[in-house]
Structure 1
Amino acid sequence: MSITTLAATRVYLGQKYGHLGEELRLSFEAFPYTGLSKPYCVDNNVADSACSGTAYFTGVKANSGTVGLSAGAKRGDCKAQRDGFYSVTGLMDWAQRVGKRTGVVTTTRVTHATPAAAYAHAADRLWEADSDLPSHGLHCDDIATQLVQGRVGSRINVIFGGGRRNFIPKGEKDMEGYVGRRSDDKNLIREWLMRKAASGTPAKFIYNRYELLHLDTSSRSDVLGLFSPDHMPYHLDAEASDPTLSEMTQTAIKLLANNKEGFFLFVEGGRIDTAHHETKARKALDETAEFAKAVEAALRLVNPEETLIVVTSDHSHTMSYSGYSKRGTDILGFTNKMNASDSLPYTTLSYANGPGYRPHEYFKRQDLYLEDLKNPNFTYPALVPIGRETHGGEDVAVFAKGPWAHLFTGNYEQNYIPHAIAYAACIGQGLTSCKIS
């Protein structure tokens, strides 16, 4: 969710409702305090979601591809993961230790790199199920196993997202007929329910929108909601049985808020990222608009005097926004000033690299007038051919509202964010607002 993505989404959302668009503000852009964070990894100048998630959950910068481990652990080093010496915990753990209820909401797989950084320690972000682990050498716990069995993961009260296949054995189908991915014959959904029952915790598993909307949110039940075998579908592709990010967010808050010690909730609009990787700008902007709606929904349910809300990004992407178009020009269409020097049109949005690259013929670009820009799966042009568009390396925005929100102004390292949240929330072992005289 780069700043470019935010700017383009304002126009997308505004034009959708009959405005020019540039003058709009997304829900969180109205927050009183803003800042910039620097999202690089220890070993890479452009961050991936594993190292950046680790930074803003734990307060420790990490190597690319590693989750919940300090930079002493290299990607793929199972021994470093097993030893535990490099394991780092953060906001989820700190909140649980003081009695807060905790939750994770995402539109990706709940075992994907970003949500995994909340609870897991993995030397490779790709080790989501046991079938993803190397077939030889030491055995490490996969991320799905850590969500169910881990000290932090097993204590998360509300988990909403996709990724059902990573919890079900290969020889077994889930409730919608999809086959699992696990090689160890374990059904981790059943195990999660059994573990909750053994601890005397009321718990429920759900898998569709109807079940989500009919939960008894007045109870203190723990809820695992896995709404898709893989990532949840894009909002533009969703069916009536698929919950929206706003619905998941609202339900999570209602389930968590009934607690005198308060709660910590992480909400991710993760498919903004996957749409950009596919250079599907229309879907990326629509997912950003859905994320802004989720923030707005959250604001309606919490007390702004006692709830800190921080909105930020893992990293940016390479989408650019250019061309001198007149206001009112379709943000997802062509610029309307002039063609390029090859006499062909170009789009206002494009990418530095990615699958949207089109080979030149006779020293000219492909004529985009021959393509359907209205198709949600249209891949926007890219300069460099690559199977998946890469992240960008520039700073990303941080927006804050609520107690101690002024701590998030200025320019700072990404791993500063959880320390500032912990200071405001009086959690963790560091200096907090409750410890100052």
Structure 2
Amino acid sequence: MKTSFLAIGAAIAASGAAAQDLPQASSDWFTAGQATIEARLALEPNTNRARNVILLNADGNGVGTNYALRLFAGQQAGGLGDDHVLPHETFAHMALVKTYTTNGQTPDSAPTASAMLTGVKSRNTMINVSENVAVGDCANLPGNELTTLSQIADDMGKSVGIVSTARITHATPAAAYAVTANRNWEDDSALPEDCTTQADIAAQLVDGMESGLIDLAMGGGRRHFVPAGTVSEEGNEGTRTDGRNLIEEMEALGAQYVWNDETFGALTELGNAPIIGLFQDSHMMYEHDRTDEPSLAEMTAAAITALSTNEEGYFLSIEGGRVDHANHAGNLHRVLTDGVAFAEAVQMAIDMTDDSDTLIIVTADHEHAIAFNGYCGRGSDITGLCMGIDNEGVENTGEPNLGSDGKPYTVAGYLNGAGSVLIEQEDGTYSGERPDVTNEEAMDPDYLQQALVPMSSETHSGTDVAAYAHGPYAHLLGGTIEQNVIFHVMHHAMTAE
């Protein structure tokens, strides 16, 4: 049989047979593969200078989480999921990205965002500070501040905008405007009294708006902008201890302030004045629970509309911040509903821009300790049980696979987290066994995926993430790269002759 197979291959090669002469040529898979090759053969590098650059970051949406999102989005659309294509997966250029930091095999969101916006790696917990400074070391901060892509864009006359579903003072959005020796110094109540070399992160946003660096900022985190004792629109108090009401200060600079659906919908003169949107006292709501606040796609549309009024162009940082938070909670349903909201924002950015002058990069800052079981038949619900493979059909058998303990298991789980099957006992030890869960129970929006190591909050992981690029100089993104290279792609696209 082996000799016969080799002989057939040799005969085909010797005759120079075209692909369509192969016995599998009538297969839809085969013709789709040919179409992919033809499309890639037709690719030509776009070497236009990028007037606009949009960096979309789904926080925590590494390769594994993105796989789950693909299946979820496809299944929500009525398909089996695996063959679904997310908006960013249509981009012709991509790379795998190494996310480690100068002191962490596993990163947090501060140095990862900093790497993408400064072009160098640095320590965990710090934003836009060189690796020469230890975490929290205010005294040695001067002289070690890094210049960001935002500042470069501003110096070129471009507008700068930030959109996030997390607090606007949180690590990823803060990287567009702040320098801090500790990402947790979101307002002055957290800033050490003897730290006189930097302002808190919220105050730095006001400084950025006053200097003209920041033209638009939308997200959560209202509490960090108002004084303790001052009641916010939601009825909660601010956390600042210096008495400053930063929202009023920004309004005094001419900024339009919005805080809910109604005020967001009433935005006027987009592009003629700074815009500050603070839609929650802390993070914005998960998409599954969202009420009375705009979606990520709606904020993206408003930002592009506003920033596009600048003839010199813009840099826009967009974060789907709560993908990360739901992963930390071990709640896959909210990971994926927020992931779908992020994908809709990506599609909005594609639809509202022209790839002849706008570079779009879609990536994640890091991955999580998510893991996937097997052997699941096609169509197994990504948030549900791993169903058996149907040897005679396409979809699964409808009967769950069982572990050696005789119990079914879910398609996805976590290596650690709040859903651990090990429960702490009164004597401080841990014991337990896997529960016998049904598919209906596993697919409940509030279900926490089973985890191994017990932790109150699931951790990041150090595995690679993907970056997808579309537009001017997108072809510079390829292979396996260090995370800081993303800055260099964006910078080259903006400044190319």
TM-score interval (norm. to shorter): over 0.9
Choose the corresponding residue for 1:104, options 162, 184, 207.
162
TM-superposed CA distance for 1:302, in Å, is: 0.8
TM-superposed CA distance for 1:288, in Å, is: 1.1
Match status 1:158 vs 2:227: no
TM-superposed CA distance for 1:32, in Å, is: 0.8
- Summarize the Cα distance change of 1:96–1:343 in structure 2 as closer, same or farther, 3 Å threshold: same
TM-superposed CA distance for 1:166, in Å, is: 0.3
1:326 aligned partner: 377
Match status 1:340 vs 2:403: yes
2-structure distance, mates of 1:189, 1:245: 22
Q: RMSD of aligned C-alpha atoms?
A: 1.8
Pairwise mapping of residues 30-429 of structure 1 onto structure 2 (< 5 A)? 30-81=90-141, 84-135=142-193, 140-150=198-208, 155-194=213-252, 196-197=253-254, 203-239=255-291, 241-337=292-388, 338-359=401-422, 364-369=433-438, 372-426=441-495
Unaligned runs of 5+ in 2: 1-60, 389-400, 424-429
Q: Deviations over 1:146-170 (max 9, x none)?
A: 1112489852001000000000001
Q: Deviations over 1:294-318 (max 9, x none)?
A: 0101111111111100011111111
Question: Does the aligned pair in 2 maintain the 1:249–1:267 contact within 8 Å?
Answer: yes
Question: Does the aligned pair in 2 maintain the 1:162–1:228 contact within 8 Å?
Answer: yes
Q: Relative to structure 2, which stretch is displaced further, 402-411 or 329-338?
A: 329-338
2-structure distance, mates of 1:213, 1:51: 34
- Choose 1 or 2 for highest CA Rg: 2
Q: Relative to structure 2, which stretch is displaced further, 309-318 or 137-146?
A: 137-146
- Normalising by the residue count of structure 2, what TM-score does the alignment of the two structures yield? 0.81
TM-superposed CA distance for 1:216, in Å, is: 2.3
- Summarize the Cα distance change of 1:363–1:111 in structure 2 as closer, same or farther, 3 Å threshold: closer
1:430 aligned partner: none
2-structure distance, mates of 1:37, 1:152: 35
Question: Does the aligned pair in 2 maintain the 1:342–1:364 contact within 8 Å?
Answer: no
Q: Relative to structure 2, which stretch is displaced further, 373-382 or 55-64?
A: 373-382
2-structure distance, mates of 1:291, 1:392: 21
Aligned residue type for 2:235: G
Question: Does the aligned pair in 2 maintain the 1:212–1:251 contact within 8 Å?
Answer: no
Q: Relative to structure 2, which stretch is displaced further, 308-317 or 208-217?
A: 208-217
3-state SS of the aligned residue for 1:131?
Answer: coil
Aligned residue type for 1:417: I
Q: Relative to structure 2, which stretch is displaced further, 29-38 or 336-345?
A: 336-345
- Summarize the Cα distance change of 1:135–1:343 in structure 2 as closer, same or farther, 3 Å threshold: farther
Aligned residue type for 1:130: D
Q: Deviations over 1:77-131 (max 9, x none)?
A: 12123xx211002111100001001100000000001111111111111110111
3-state SS of the aligned residue for 1:264?
Answer: strand
Q: How many residues align?
A: 419
3-state SS of the aligned residue for 1:78?
Answer: coil
3-state SS of the aligned residue for 2:442?
Answer: coil
Q: Relative to structure 2, which stretch is displaced further, 142-151 or 48-57?
A: 142-151
Q: Relative to structure 2, which stretch is displaced further, 270-279 or 10-19?
A: 10-19
1-structure distance, mates of 2:211, 2:481: 29
- Summarize the Cα distance change of 1:135–1:357 in structure 2 as closer, same or farther, 3 Å threshold: farther
- Summarize the Cα distance change of 1:176–1:365 in structure 2 as closer, same or farther, 3 Å threshold: closer
Question: Does the aligned pair in 1 maintain the 2:117–2:149 contact within 8 Å?
Answer: yes
Question: Does the aligned pair in 1 maintain the 2:72–2:336 contact within 8 Å?
Answer: yes
2-structure distance, mates of 1:121, 1:153: 15
